[in-house]
Structure 1
Amino acid sequence: MGRPGGRRLKGRIRAEDLDELRRRANIVDIAAEYMQVRKAGSGRFQALCPFHQEKTPSFSIDVAKNLFYCFGCNKGGDVISLIEELEGLSFVEAVERLAAKTGVQLTYEQASPAQREASTKKMRLIAAHREAVAFYHDLLMGSPDAKTARDYLKQRGLSKETVERFGLGWAPGPPRWDDLAKHLARKRFSEAELVEAGLAQRGERGIRDRFLGRIMFPTFDVAGEPVAFGGRVLGDGTPKYLNTAETPIFHKGRMMYGLNWAKKAIATTGSTIVVEGYMDVIALHQAGVTEVVATNGTALSADHFALLGRFGPQAVVAFDSDTAGAAAVERAFEAALGSLLDVRVLIVPEGKDPADFVIARGGADFRGLASNAPPMVEFRLRREIERFDLRDPDGRARAVRACISIVARIRDEVMRKDYTGRLADWTNTDPNVVFLEVGRALGDRTARSAPQVRRTSAQVRLERDLLKVALQYPAAIGEHAAGVDPELISVPVHRTIWREVLAGGDANAITGRLTEEGTRETVRALAMEPIEVDLETDGLPPRAYVTEIVNRMKVFALRRLIDEKKKYLQRLNPVENEQEYKERYAELIALEGERRRITGFPDEAQAG
């Protein structure tokens, strides 16, 4: 359970004030600032629990009682407890944070000045940041020596309204070493507070500002409070970006730049776009793509993905198409493996960063790239496969071996088995072999050298069902045969048998025409294996059963074509190849339409 409603510190803040705070603070509104909240009946709301990973919402909110409870991890309490748990605050700090939001005036009882100061340290550091945001912003908008910074932001395509909305600022450089420190001293902040907040540092000549000669990007926590800065140097200074170090109010591994502005859009769309830079976030927001966040100068971590999972089930991670971007994909892949999010990869064409792309092409084109982003695991596997010549048996074997370690690192068993089957399809390799090798990589001591695998992919099972019907009941498959092109068959031996089916004859005739004993043995086995449906009175499988097999075969093929089309579009530069991009995109839409026509559902068919 969460900490109880404040009995431990009740003597410090009047009970009447706490009661008033609980009345005014709507727990649903507060929770919605941190997670995607949906109505779940009369007076109840639910969400994915922010305190543990889950796929099905178990976090429940009772509006009438103004309480929350998670049936998965058993955390619960009132609105004050919720803020304590989410923000890692003490009871008094959580009360003060809510009081500031709701306008409740707090009265402290039986507390010395020292106790009050200790309980409000984090609020003091946040207040110092508020003053710093205003100070830097005023300098950017009006100071003559900030003209270079204003020109830079204008050149990058940012409007005055955008600069104001994101609170951008200017930190003057030498010889103005301590302008902010002096300003905050006048606001009665101590040197110790400025140093602890990461706004100043001590040197041989005393206190001096941490940020000098930089465009300032304030970072706000998810509730909208300023807690840190990123500063970009103009000119040749180093480092190019200087970020606030860890402080009592800022933990860069658990915060994301722009989440305070993006959280509502993420909750609406169900997806987050993660970029690398402050300018990328701001430019995309300005272009109307508002579900965008960035890390604060650090690699994506499991904590970042857990944070994003509170608001939506999908994250599209955008990278530059250079060596550094490839390395970032690998680091993000490791973090994403432990997440329950659907993580996808967007490579911005021609080495552009998202800000440059969206300024040149607009938000709609960037959304098009994001909507075509492949799953991260698929992206990693396909990138690995591309290094090998699949026309050569040795190349196929090396491609499979290179990908086995990737598949084996997938923690979700269902996903791992699905990608094992896909790897077999993409490399045109016997799925039994691939499943066996993945099992060995996982330390399965029961795996033998012979490809004796108990599980195969959904498409392979479907191909076997099609061939069983065709070999055992040729009359049932007749009218459907023309609808299944041999190229729809993924396993080479199955493809060979299907071509013989189309040539005509029963199982005995087909076996007689085949020359390879392994293929003939497969025909004999399929001709004897029972089908998984009762026969009709005419002794044939139900027509609906055969139709479903054929349609699902088409859906698998369409999915493969859609994947290939998305991959091609991902590589195509929409700026340099605008007409071809539009044509290929139209083809993609047509394929998606055909898939929807067959399945009757907007999402990819989940066959098998």
Structure 2
Amino acid sequence: LCPFHQEKSPSFNVIPDKQIYHCFGCQAGGDVFRFLMTIEGLSFVEAVKELAAPVGLEVEERELTPAERKQLRARSTAFDVLEAAARQYEAWLWTGPAGAPAREYLERRELTAETIRAARLGYVPQGWSRLLDALHRDGFDASQVADVGLARPSDRGQGFYDFLRERVIIPIRDERGRVIAFGGRILEGDGPKYLNTPESQLYQKSHTLYGMDTARQAIQQKGRVVVVEGYFDVISLQQAGFGEAVATCGTALTADHLEKIRRLARDVVLVMDADEAGLRAAEKTLPMFIDAGISAWRVNLPGAKDPDELVRQEGSEAFERVLQEREPLFEWVVQRKLDAFGTSTMGRERALEEVVPLLAKVRDGTVTSRVARRAGIPEEIVLDRIRQHLRQARNPDGPPPEAAPAPGAPAWRPHVDATHLLWLLVHRYDEVADVLARVDPGLLDDHAPIRPVVARLLSGEPVAAMLPDLGEPVLQRTVQAVVARTKLYEPEEAVHAVLELLARMARPRIGARLASAKGDYERTVGRGEMEAALTTLQRTKALQHLEKDLDRAVRSDDVETLLGLLAQLTDPAPDTSGV
């Protein structure tokens, strides 16, 4: 059974000779390093060390400089201080009458003892130096406590005092479950409702998602991440069965957050505040989601409740209904802009100006059609604006960058011909490599994402070596599935199969040139330019003959003829601009 998602029938495969794994259920796959990185939340270097140790291999590392050794010691000490603080906060929560106010508060929030212990919640009672004194007994001095943000220097210039006092303590952990920072929730009195320890060498808000260490398995099983705004939202949701919930740490979502998310899931549901600040924050995330290739959704919570309130008052079923009614973030942003600028002609034009850059990133015809209908603008006008935007933004030395899939819209999916071609290269390399090496790569323009894979396979690069840096997750999963599929074409069928695939891939080019020739013919006849019309007619007949010749070459397995015909198609089409 697959370790990455729940299933009843086994769909997890290990392919020893290719040194990769692939699950046909959830599409997880990769090599042994990717497996350990995903299961344990390790970095690549950490995975290498973990695998090397049991077999007695040493991972050679360059000798550290004195400054690097000092930094490494400081980092290790910081982890030790934070862990000692977390244990002390927990002890104060559970021991004696001092922790009673915090225990009563958490009980009012309907958190079970099991949930509180899993989240490692704690408490710090009254006193200016309670934590400092406790950690001093553990062997840590005040400067070490201050280095992790848990102590501040006194205004009088002598000594330190505790940064968090009389608060419920929420430990913030990294993806490996190590404490890297703390949040504190005030129980009564003046002061900010929440305080967070400052950023440090271990803790950067832009990289940290609260709850990710405990959410990993649920995210992989459900294929989605629910992003909320508060620590207690995460804790309550995870208690209610939504283990995939995480939260930012008092900051907006960043590209680094999305990079962590995309390793585990391709769907993100945003559950943000419904005030104007929250709406603007959600809107600003859209370009990042597009760039990351993640489908993003947004939900409205009834009665302006937060997720914690909703599950406590109405149960987990109410929150699940909210998730089921989610709206694609892209379409929500478009509607928000249309509402902001109004329904006048000028208003729709201004809204279109703001939406076009997003559509240009997406380059998805279905999304463009929906936007055009919503805006009440002819689709051709929208397409023309997109083309104008791309021309203006284009790098003069090259084509525009490949766009990521639209959030809420289908991501790139390989055509069956593309997967069969890859299968032949992986499993029938000796039979087909010579043929494919002589084909112009331009023939694969309609299947652009597989072009670099084909080139690398033809160069003899092992599949396992290229998997980590393929980039696009859909492409990575496609290659893994191709490798895992052991039966498709017998060796004696391989040459015929590759010729048939190449001919099919060529047909759209023939169709496009025939359509162009037909248009040219009608225009020249309409203008009475009979000589030009005759030339165009001859071009049409030549293309029709070429199509028939391709079919004959495939039927007879005539490699040389087929390659010659394909070469004609990869030559530039005739310039008919003056016709």
TM-score, with length taken from structure 1: 0.55
8 Å Cα contact 1:400-1:434 kept in structure 2: no
- Contact residue 299 and residue 331 of structure 1 kept, 8 A: no
Compared CA separation, residues 149 and 396, structure 1 to 2 (3 A):
farther
Residue-by-residue CA offset, 1:507-546 (whole Å, 9 max, x unaligned):
xxxxxxxxxxxxxxxxxxxxxxxxxxxxxxxxxxxxxxxx
Does the alignment pair 1:296 with 2:246? no
Matched, 1:190 2:138: no
Aligned to 1:60, which of 25, 30, 38?
30
1:336/1:221 Cα in 2 relative to 1: closer, same or farther (>3 Å)?
same
Letter in 2 for 1:398: G
Residues 5-24 of structure 1: pairs in structure 2 closer than 5 A: none
- Provide the aligned C-alpha RMSD in A: 4.0
Superimposed CA distance per residue, residues 470-523 of structure 1 (whole angstroms, 9 cap, x where no aligned partner):
xxxxxxxxxxxxxxxxxxxxxxxxxxxxxxxxxxxxxxxxxxxxxxxxxxxxxx
> C-alpha deviations, 1:406-452, integer Å up to 9, x for none?
3413563434x443221111233211122223333445599xxxxxx
Deviation string 1:70-122 (CA, Å, 9 cap, x unpaired) is xxxxxx99x999636579xxx9xx77x999x99xxxxxxx9999997754432
Q: Give the CA deviation at 1:41.
A: 3.0
1:258 aligned residue? 211
Preserved contact between residue 269 and residue 297 of structure 2 (Cα < 8 Å): yes
Aligned partner of residue 297 in structure 2, secondary structure: strand
Asked whether 1:409 is paired with 2:347, we answer no
- 2:237 counterpart residue number: 284
Change (3 A) 1:357 1:426: same
Answer whether contact 2:206 2:254 (CA < 8 A) is retained: yes
Alignment of 1:554-573 (within 5 A): none
Among 337, 343, 346, the alignment partner of 2:296 is 343
How far 1:283 moved relative to its partner? Answer: 0.8
1:230 paired to 2:219: no
1:29-48 Cα offsets, whole Å, 9 max, x none, are 9x99xxxxx95533454599
Verify: 1:378 aligned to 2:313, yes or no: no
Structure that is richer in helix per residue: 2
Q: Which residue identity does 1:327 align to in structure 2?
A: R
C-alpha distance 81-287 of structure 1, shift in aligned 2 (>3 A): closer
Residue 271 of structure 1: which of 221, 224, 238 is its match? 224
Equivalent in 351, 356, 359 of residue 309 of structure 2: 356
Relative to structure 1, the CA distance from residue 443 to residue 86 in structure 2 (aligned partners, 3 Å threshold; closer, same or farther) is farther
Q: Secondary structure at the match of 1:282?
A: helix
Q: Answer whether contact 1:400 1:423 (CA < 8 A) is retained.
A: no
- Which amino acid is 2:43 matched to? I
Following superposition of structure 1 onto structure 2, how do residues 110-149 of structure 1 map, counting pairs within 5 Å? 119-149=72-102
Q: Which amino acid aligns with 2:386?
A: V
User: C-alpha separation between the residues in 2 aligned to 1:266 and 1:207?
Assistant: 42
Aligned to 1:439: 387
**Whole-Å Cα distance in 2 between the matches of residues 445 and 290 of structure 1?**
42
Evaluate the alpha carbon distance shift between residue 45 and residue 269 of structure 1 in structure 2; reply closer, same or farther with a 3 A threshold: farther
In the alignment, which residue of structure 2 is the partner of 1:165?
118
Q: Residue 238 of structure 1: SS of its match in structure 2?
A: coil
Please state whether the residue corresponding to 2:209 is helix, strand or coil.
coil
State the match for 1:540 in structure 2. none
CA distance in 1, matches of 2:336, 2:111: 35
Can you list the C-alpha shifts for 1:566-595, whole angstroms capped at 9, x where unaligned?
xxxxxxxxxxxxxxxxxxxxxxxxxxxxxx
Q: CA deviation at 1:388?
A: 6.1
| 1:286, distance to aligned residue in structure 2 (A) | 1.1
Name the aligned partner's letter for residue 302 of structure 1.
A
**CA shift at 1:227, angstroms?**
1.0
Query: In the alignment, which residue of structure 1 is the partner of 2:377?
Result: 429
Structure 1 position 309 matched with structure 2 position 262: yes
Matched residues in 1 for 2:134 and 2:360: separation? 52
Q: What amino acid maps onto 2:104 in structure 1?
A: D
Question: 2:372–2:382: 8 Å Cα contact kept in structure 1?
Answer: yes
Check conservation: 1:336, 1:343, Cα contact below 8 A: yes
Residues of 1 paired with 2:317 and 2:197: CA distance?
A: 33
Q: Which amino acid aligns with 1:310?
A: R
Give, in angstroms, the shift of residue 152 of structure 1.
2.1
Q: In the alignment, what sits opposite 1:532?
A: none
- 2-structure distance, mates of 1:83, 1:433: 47
Report the 3-state secondary structure (helix = DSSP H, G, I; strand = E; otherwise coil) of the residue aligned with 1:228. Answer: strand
**Is 1:178 aligned to 2:129, yes or no?**
yes
Shift of 1:316: 0.6
Give CA deviations for 1:106-165 in whole Å, capped at 9, x if unaligned: xxxx99999977544323221222211111112122342433322222222222221122
**Contact 2:356–2:385 at 8 Å: present in 1 too?**
no
The separation in 2 between residues aligned to 1:245 and 1:261, in whole angstroms, is: 23
Q: Which moved more, 1:289-298 or 1:116-125?
A: 116-125
Distance 2:244 2:285 in 1: 19
3-state SS of 1:338 partner: helix
**Are the aligned partners of 2:360 and 2:390 in contact in 1 as well (CA < 8 Å)?**
no
Deviation of the 1:354 alpha carbon = 0.8
Q: d(CA) in 2 for partners of 1:425 and 1:282?
A: 41
SS at match of 2:300: strand
State the distance in 1 between where 2:34 and 2:375 align.
49
For structure 2, which runs of at least 5 residues remain unmatched after alignment?
A: 6-10, 56-62, 395-579
On the 8 A contact 1:267/1:311 being kept in 2, the answer is yes
2:281 match: secondary structure: helix
- Secondary structure of residue in 2 paired with 1:343: strand
For 2:289, give the aligned amino acid.
A
Whether the aligned pair in 2 keeps the contact of 1:258 and 1:281 (CA below 8 Å) is yes
Distance 1:68 1:265, change over 3 A: closer
Aligned AA (1:329)? A
- Kept in 2: contact 1:230–1:243 (CA 8 A): yes
Q: Does the CA-based 8 Å contact 1:396-1:427 persist in structure 2?
A: no
1:42 aligns with 2:15: yes
CA contact (8 A) 1:253 1:298 kept: yes
Query: How far did residue 225 of structure 1 move?
Result: 1.1
Contact 2:121-2:170 within 8 A present in 1 as well = yes
Identity %: 28
The DSSP-based 3-state class of the residue aligned with 2:250 is coil
The structural deviation recorded for 1:186 is 1.3
The one-letter code matched in structure 2 to 1:402 is A
Structure 1 CA distance for aligned equivalents of residues 138 and 68 of structure 2: 21
Structure 1 residues 303 and 83 mapped into 2: Cα distance closer, same or farther (>3 Å)? closer
- Within-5 A mapping of 1:360-509: 360-387=313-340, 390=343, 395=344, 397-410=346-359, 412-415=361-364, 417-444=365-392
Tell me the CA shift for residue 209 of structure 1. 1.4
TM-score (norm 2): 0.57
Check conservation: 2:210, 2:248, Cα contact below 8 A.
yes
